[in-house]
Structure 1
Amino acid sequence: MLWQMFEANATMYPEKRIGDLPGISVGHRFYSRAEMVAVGFHSHWLNGIDYMGQSYRKGVYHNYTFPLAVAIVISGMYEDDLDNAEDVIYTGQGGHDLTGNKRQIRDQKLERGNLALKNCVEQCVPVRVVRGHECASSYCGRVYTYDGLYKVVQYWAEKGLSGFTVFKYRLRRMEGQPILTTNQVQFSYGRVPQSVAEIRGLVCEDISGGQEDVPIPATNLVDDPPVAPSGYTYCKSLQIAKNVKLPANVSGCNCQGTCVDPRTCACAKLNGSDFPYVQINGGRLIEARAVVFECGPSCGCGPGCVNRTSQRGIKHRLEVFRTPKKGWAVRSWDFIPSGAPVCEYIGALVRTEDTDHVCENNYIFDIDCLQTMRGLGGRERRLGDVSVSAINSFDGDDQKSESVPEFCIDAGSTGNIARFINHSCEPNLFVQCVLSSHHDVKLARVMLFAADNIPPMQELTYDYGYALDSVSGPSGKIKQMPCYCGAADCRKRLF
């Protein structure tokens, strides 16, 4: 059928062209490579690089040096690819094992598509970028999404992960195009590094300086020259301000070793006579709750108890990476199952009133457990049994606590990896207040849990929870900040 279309000159765009094609906008989906070939959007069935050859030297392109790339497909076929959505490290063609294991088996050469992308760098010619990923609704099992024009800003040759020479191309998405949506871009193309030597753009081997059980590297493929995260001190436990006094430890359960019977465990009774976690994959939260009561220092059970799940520190291999628009961000090298704890929001525990004079601090997290429990400030009220009688300082007539949380966590100058996790209007993490050593909800621990199964290399995000027009500057004027989360239903503003 396709050959008949070519012979009849029935393709939509039989001649290759630089830039966008009329009628094919960002976000357009092709349900096979054949559709792209038929339209003339990308004319190769297998090759990732579509380019103009020497036959295009005449006519409107007579001033260009050929070959010249016009489009590429990113589909996870090369182990050396690294896809950061708006900033891409793309591996050239050739020397690839076609058996499906994505390995290089020979050196690549600077010819054909590889030479065409090199010429794009030198002549500032943009290329169309198409991303392909698995899709059950496509008859060929994959779908290809047009993600816009990218500028090829750099190229070089290096030894790839398999020891053979590969050509690498750095592409950056051009400004002024519709933003990428999170369901358009798949972040799992890049092969998870197996060692420090394989980490591309490494600017810090461990931002925690050995404090965390699992090192947290930082990478930067955006800035030139690349810089590491700075302007703060890493800490893995809350720093308590001098004018903040934590409540005394409450009496705990009498369980021994590990809590197993919710009918007799005093901590389980606080959670509605049930344990909030299941003992799967190191412990997973069954559902988001108004507040979770965990076992604490006065309990008889040990550290392996399922009701201490959030107290075990960071267990997944996390990475801080630089983005073109959102600053620093966080992703996991590991699969994170739904309900698994990711990290606690750590910083200085201070009184909210003491931060009123602080300007441009975007790392303050209000401890708003009371607001969540009551469904205030636009927050969705969470269902679930809560033992109110066990909560100290829970005063239903306290109007101040309803409007402004009394305490907050300031991670501006000191904090952990949570300070780098970005907002999203469609997040894959959720915030959960947890009580363990005491039962004062105004001083609850703030934990981030996986809201869904999260594949490796996908950015981790949570909803910052700002209401629009809720932030004012020193003069009292409403402040506005655009949102670049890229979600399909993005609110367009952070606040």
Structure 2
Amino acid sequence: MAEISKDCRVPIKMSWDDLEALCRTEGFQCKELGITKANVNEYEVEFLCDYKKTKEEEFYLVKWRGFPESVNSWEPKWHLKCPKLMKQFHVDLDHELRRQKRRAIPKRLDKEISSLLVQKAKHRKRLKTWEAQLNLTCNHPGGIFVINDVDLEGPPKNFTYINFYKAAPGIDFIETAVGCKCKNCLEEPVNGCCPGASLHRVAYNEQGQVRIKPGEPIYECNSQCLCGTDCLNRVVQKGIQFDLAIFKTDNGRGWGVRTLQHIRKNTFVMEYVGEIITTDEAEKRGHIYDREGATYLFDLDYVEDVYTVDAAHQGNVSHFVNHSCNPNLQVYNVFIDNLDERLPRIALFSTRGIRVGEELTFDYKMQIDPIDTESSKMDSSFTLAGVSTSPKKRIRVECRCGSDTCRKYLF
């Protein structure tokens, strides 16, 4: 929601689109919307609603940005300078004609087709607005794109994008008070670097790829360390580095995530972020999510099963990552500024090279053989949706990952 500026002198709350429409139709100026005296009457094509053709010309029914649909107007093709919108209009039109098994474009579209094209245009606009909000909220270099060419489902309701864990009331993070004094953290772990102080070796090589086995913890340098932001032992804390697309799957798996850039093997991709709750609270929420067919609870059982990450309503891109029985992402426990072993950060690293356009997945019931229980303190499994080594009842969910090694059921 937005509020008209003092220049408009209309103290009423409304959406940005309705606000812009009001300003332009009433001739108001608004600094927040960039509407000035010079451009208040300028017309810009928002989307195309309809099409008709005569012997002489082609016409499009235009929805003008910032103006109500009541002022939509038919414009000749030569008068419009919006090639991308025209191309998208005809892509949608061709798709609908093929669905109806019609070959030629009619001289005048029927009401059903034109109505559907308007719905698609408005749907695409909602997704673009959501995409812009996500990129304004996220604090990582990698961009987020939103794509839905399958249906008219829009942004998820009751979901807030967050960049870090959000602790529920009564749960506190213990911030570290010490840091290393190394000059080269990859070469000096035995002299007091963060991994060495925790009796572990540095997890990364010089290219930033993880070089330890799944099950071993990662200790990164923290805010108290003397090394700079270019330290090679700072990887997860730098956030998502790749452009990712949240897309609607076409096989009933809901939303998914694909990479728009090549990802090398053993590379950090993203964190699993959400609200930190107790396992008792997770048990209560789990029964609700089961009835909804959702799987967003991730038990933090690095040393003991005390806390759970709930990404159902607060999370980041990982909220949309689907399960696979043959995944390309692997889970690691990471400690940076918080050294409470009950509250590790959950990082997802690539298990192999991932090509551009490939969907990102991880196993919701990922089994990891303990490396050394004395040194790693690793439980026998990572679990999502509240499933762990403890006997918790869960509704059996059918798996649709499609891999050759599919277990047929998620849980």
Question: TM-score, length-normalised on structure 1?
Answer: 0.50
Alignment partner of 1:222 out of 121, 145, 150:
150
2:219 is the counterpart of 1:293: yes
2:392 is the counterpart of 1:488: no
2:253 is the counterpart of 1:320: no
1:264 shift after superposition: 2.0
1:121 shift after superposition: 4.1
Contact 1:203 1:228 in 2 (8 A): no
Whichever residue aligns with residue 272 of structure 2, its letter is Y
1:238 shift after superposition: 1.3
Counterpart position of 2:174: 247
Using a 3 Å threshold, how does the CA distance of structure 1 residues 452 and 339 change in structure 2: closer, same or farther?
A: same
1:230-260 CA-partner distances (Å, limit 9, x unpaired): 3201111111222112224152211147554
Contact 2:142 2:241 in 1 (8 A): yes
Counterpart position of 2:328: 428
1:353 shift after superposition: 1.2
SS of 1:365's partner is strand
Q: Distance in 1 between matches of 2:104 and 2:364?
A: 38
1:261-312 CA-partner distances (Å, limit 9, x unpaired): 33324323246563210121xx111133421111112222122111111110
Whichever residue aligns with residue 401 of structure 2, its letter is C
Q: Distance in 1 between matches of 2:337 and 2:394?
A: 39
Q: Distance in 2 between matches of 1:469 and 1:416?
A: 17
1:130-153 CA-partner distances (Å, limit 9, x unpaired): xxxxxxxxxxxxxxxxxxxxxxxx
Alignment of 1:377-456 (within 5 A): 401=304, 405-456=305-356
Using a 3 Å threshold, how does the CA distance of structure 1 residues 494 and 260 change in structure 2: closer, same or farther?
A: same
Q: What are the ranges of 5 or more consecutive residues in structure 2 without an aligned counterpart?
A: 1-86, 88-93, 107-123, 367-382
Whichever residue aligns with residue 397 of structure 2, its letter is M
Counterpart position of 1:457: 357
Q: Distance in 2 between matches of 1:429 and 1:469?
A: 17
Q: Would you tell me which structure has more helix in proportion to its own residues?
A: 2
1:479 shift after superposition: 1.3
Counterpart position of 1:479: 395
Q: Distance in 2 between matches of 1:406 and 1:477?
A: 18
1:307-340 CA-partner distances (Å, limit 9, x unpaired): 1111101110011000131101001100011111
Counterpart position of 2:193: 266
Alignment of 1:133-212 (within 5 A): 204-206=130-132, 208-210=134-136, 211-212=138-139
1:338-383 CA-partner distances (Å, limit 9, x unpaired): 111111111111212122222115211111223xxxxxxxxxxxxx
Contact 2:329 2:349 in 1 (8 A): yes
Using a 3 Å threshold, how does the CA distance of structure 1 residues 203 and 442 change in structure 2: closer, same or farther?
A: same
Q: Distance in 2 between matches of 1:409 and 1:155?
A: 53
Alignment of 1:233-244 (within 5 A): 233-244=160-171
Whichever residue aligns with residue 455 of structure 1, its letter is R
Give the aligned CA root-mean-square deviation in angstroms. 3.5
Counterpart position of 1:284: 209
Whichever residue aligns with residue 211 of structure 2, its letter is I
Q: Distance in 1 between matches of 2:191 and 2:211?
A: 20
Whichever residue aligns with residue 285 of structure 1, its letter is V
Whichever residue aligns with residue 223 of structure 2, its letter is P
Using a 3 Å threshold, how does the CA distance of structure 1 residues 352 and 156 change in structure 2: closer, same or farther?
A: farther
Q: Distance in 2 between matches of 1:468 and 1:273?
A: 27
Counterpart position of 1:366: 299
SS of 2:365's partner is coil
Q: Distance in 1 between matches of 2:104 and 2:260?
A: 26
Using a 3 Å threshold, how does the CA distance of structure 1 residues 205 and 416 change in structure 2: closer, same or farther?
A: same
SS of 1:306's partner is coil
1:440 shift after superposition: 2.5
Using a 3 Å threshold, how does the CA distance of structure 1 residues 292 and 155 change in structure 2: closer, same or farther?
A: farther
Q: Distance in 2 between matches of 1:291 and 1:155?
A: 61
Q: Distance in 2 between matches of 1:486 and 1:313?
A: 30
Q: Which moved more, 1:293-302 or 1:311-320?
A: 293-302
1:209 shift after superposition: 3.9
Using a 3 Å threshold, how does the CA distance of structure 1 residues 410 and 270 change in structure 2: closer, same or farther?
A: same
Whichever residue aligns with residue 350 of structure 2, its letter is A
1:407 shift after superposition: 0.6
Counterpart position of 2:81: none
1:4-32 CA-partner distances (Å, limit 9, x unpaired): xxxxxxxxxxxxxxxxxxxxxxxxxxxxx
Whichever residue aligns with residue 426 of structure 1, its letter is N
Contact 1:257 1:300 in 2 (8 A): no
Alignment of 1:28-43 (within 5 A): none
Using a 3 Å threshold, how does the CA distance of structure 1 residues 353 and 284 change in structure 2: closer, same or farther?
A: same
Using a 3 Å threshold, how does the CA distance of structure 1 residues 261 and 490 change in structure 2: closer, same or farther?
A: same
Whichever residue aligns with residue 362 of structure 1, its letter is T
Using a 3 Å threshold, how does the CA distance of structure 1 residues 231 and 468 change in structure 2: closer, same or farther?
A: closer
Using a 3 Å threshold, how does the CA distance of structure 1 residues 118 and 419 change in structure 2: closer, same or farther?
A: closer
Question: TM-score, length-normalised on structure 2?
Answer: 0.59
SS of 1:285's partner is coil
Q: Distance in 1 between matches of 2:260 and 2:133?
A: 16
| Count of residues in correspondence between the two structures | 273
Question: Among the aligned pairs, what percent are the same residue?
Answer: 30
Counterpart position of 1:130: none
Using a 3 Å threshold, how does the CA distance of structure 1 residues 121 and 239 change in structure 2: closer, same or farther?
A: closer
Q: Distance in 2 between matches of 1:306 and 1:456?
A: 26
Q: Distance in 1 between matches of 2:161 and 2:104?
A: 35
1:445 shift after superposition: 0.6
SS of 1:217's partner is strand
Q: Distance in 1 between matches of 2:104 and 2:395?
A: 41
Using a 3 Å threshold, how does the CA distance of structure 1 residues 156 and 411 change in structure 2: closer, same or farther?
A: farther
SS of 1:237's partner is coil
SS of 1:354's partner is helix
Q: Distance in 2 between matches of 1:440 and 1:245?
A: 10
Contact 2:296 2:319 in 1 (8 A): yes
